[in-house]
Structure 1
Amino acid sequence: MKIFEYPSPLVWKELLQRPVFDSSGLQATVQNILKEIQRNGDEAVRSFTLSLDKVLLNDFAVPESAIVSAGSNIIPELKNAIQVAVNNITLFHEKQLQTDEKIETMPGIVCWRKSVPIEKVGLYIPGGSAPLFSTLLMLAIPAKIAGCKEVIVCTPPRKDGTVDEVILYAASLLGIKTIFSIGGVQAIAAMAYGTETIPQVYKIFGPGNQYVTAAKQFIQQEGIAIDMPAGPSEVCVLADETANAAFVAADLLSQAEHGPDSQVLLVTTHDSLTNLVLAEIENQLKVLPRKALAEKSLTNSKCIVLPNMKEAIALVNAYAAEHLIIHCKQPELIAEQITNAGSVFLGAYSPESVGDYASGTNHTLPTNGFAKAYSGVSVDSFVKKITFQQLSQQGLTNIGTSVAVMAAAEGLDAHRNAVQIRLNTLQ
């Protein structure tokens, strides 16, 4: 990690740049896969799964019997831990349900908004080096709470063509019965366009690598909704003189181990903390199984020292981290000043890992600065809001003249007439 001491606000924008990779070839590859699957369906999915994942699959669908029986080799401690996560995530997300309320804006005019579940949703669950069964919990639970009628899951196959058993066990707990063992761009394409085997959905959720992210962005341009732009994972730790260097180092490494394109950021008002944290990182790296990945991520990462907390908060808001850990005294006061972040963790004993797994909040969050405008996944992500209005004769009488005048002022006489023709019958 590179150390930057007291950088001027004039250089913050450049300093806070995420890792940039040449995506020109990537985009062409992604578009080619999307077009091929749109044209040739299952045949193209099978071909790309063989060429990219080195797995030949005759049938993409995971048998329901495999889902139901999953868990026989999972240790009880993990099963118990997953149940704790399910309980907490369910409780937190159930509280997000809202009661529809009718508002009388004027006498005789009633307006309301109704939450309607998105009928068909697709969940992409990353596999590869780290099968993220926790992501299935984070997406499937709010989908079920929202009332989505059709929930399908795509997740990459292992080399033997099977799906990770813990992912299947989590699916069985949540009543998910439709799972396909395909990953990457081909999974996004199959859910977006539909194939002979895989149904088309209306909205696609789930994080992934740069190829998956690019695929989601392309299909969004074609009218298929996605949850948010979600690229490589990132964390920012805001720390003062009270911070525990070992804790900070552990938090930074917990994100760095995701992959070489992840980024971690330490922002502190205590200049001596940086060297303490870097020493702790070296010590903790030695025993990490994913040491090589973490080391590559750390080359994209920075320690930034600022003269006071006011500037530190301003820089953190400019960065708009996916995960923000406030490792300071009185973290609640600082949190009140945070305007841009995906999810915030307050105090020394709130590691980002708890949000990834089991505290209850959702870990599917905006990255790459999109937290300035996007929220993380919630029950609201799985519903659409439809507005309604109903006018009585009195209501139209009360408001009709105002509408007619406004329509005329915009030169839309047919709009004006739709109101006036009714008013004429009420005179």
Structure 2
Amino acid sequence: MSCEMLRKIFSSKVLLRRFSQVENIRSIEKELPSPDFLSKYIRKPSQKLLFSKIVLELQTFLRILGSSSLPEITDDVWTSLVSLPSFEQRTQFLIMLKQNHSEQQDRIKDELEKPEIGSSSNIYYSEGKEFRKRIDQYHSNSVLRLKRNEEDLPQLLVDCRFLNDFSLTTQTVFMTQIQKLYEANWTSRHPFNITIMNYTPDQQLSTVAQRNLYFKYGPPSKDKNAKFEPHMFAPKITSQSVKNVLPCDKSEAIYISWKARDVLPSKPLNCKAVILCTSLDAQPCTSSYSLAIMEGIKSYRIPLEKHVLLKGSHRVLPLAQTSMVLRSYFLGDDLGQAIKDSFLHVKLSKRSRAKESEALIESYRSIVEKLELEKNREQKKIEFLNSPSKIGSYKPTARSYNHRYSREERKNKKQ
């Protein structure tokens, strides 16, 4: 995109002043969408105004949190950004992108630090594929060993019927959780047989899935033409309902709900299927507890409060940690210890990194708000200068006089 095109899109003088420098335009140019995207989505004045705001927010975000804090901003990401009407929603989405990108970079760093993987980028990509093949083989052997010895864990089902109703940010959270659920299962000696059910994505959810479900669509790659083949024991994804997916009678299945009245007993339940749900249990209409009642399936709660000191953010475990607790539980391990281990699974480095970035994010918010205020003041100034009283089109009304004598009386006096 040319600098002239940017100037046509930005209607605010404040934005023009900020982006008129060549180096600034070149720095943001890499993050701008394609001409096809602009011609399709950025046509009306309101769309151009929103686009200019997003570019301003994006550049400020990258300047404060670092140019490498976000992944490549593709047209799919821009589609998500322009669909979010408020600054708060866009900020949450950018933070989500940053966190996912940081975790992806951590995984790459961990693999690069392994002895068998070299530091060269070419060696990394070739060895990275070999590394995944070895883990795939390990996962296959674990699955076949459990089947051969008839040591199968209950089938793990993930009910996704509410996903289409959630915001983009919430959808991204749950898609990231499903990917982490697979990763925790992928490297386990006792893997679950996982099925993602009631999955009927719209365009937005499909885009989020392609960006986050690496086991289905493949990890990020520099080669856009590279083909990815999912592992044969990767989670099955289906639009079918609970009734059609359950491998057993409903009496042999359970829902795990954080609002359930009954807690898991100390002795492992004799069940053949465990159902997790991508739900917001704070709302009854999107609660896994309500789903369990509707489906006629017994629901249980993992007794976190008995074994750990809970804080507000930890009252609901993510899918991956929930599966770790359930795996240990059905293998006969102590439930309390399994719960404690699931909390320790969160790396301290991630917590400290989150605290450090919190201050930066607050700075980002304040700077963008200040720039928005400056832009609004500039716009009001322009409107005032262009008002009728300033451009000479205003005509004052004639002054009226109240005479003491009538016109005829004045004429008679003159005579």
TM range (shorter): under 0.3
Which structure dedicates a bigger proportion of its chain to strand?
Answer: 1
TM (norm. structure 1) is 0.26
- Which structure has more relative contact order (CA 8 Å, sep 6+)? It is 1
Which structure dedicates a bigger proportion of its chain to helix?
Answer: 2
Higher CA-based Rg: 2
TM (norm. structure 2) is 0.26
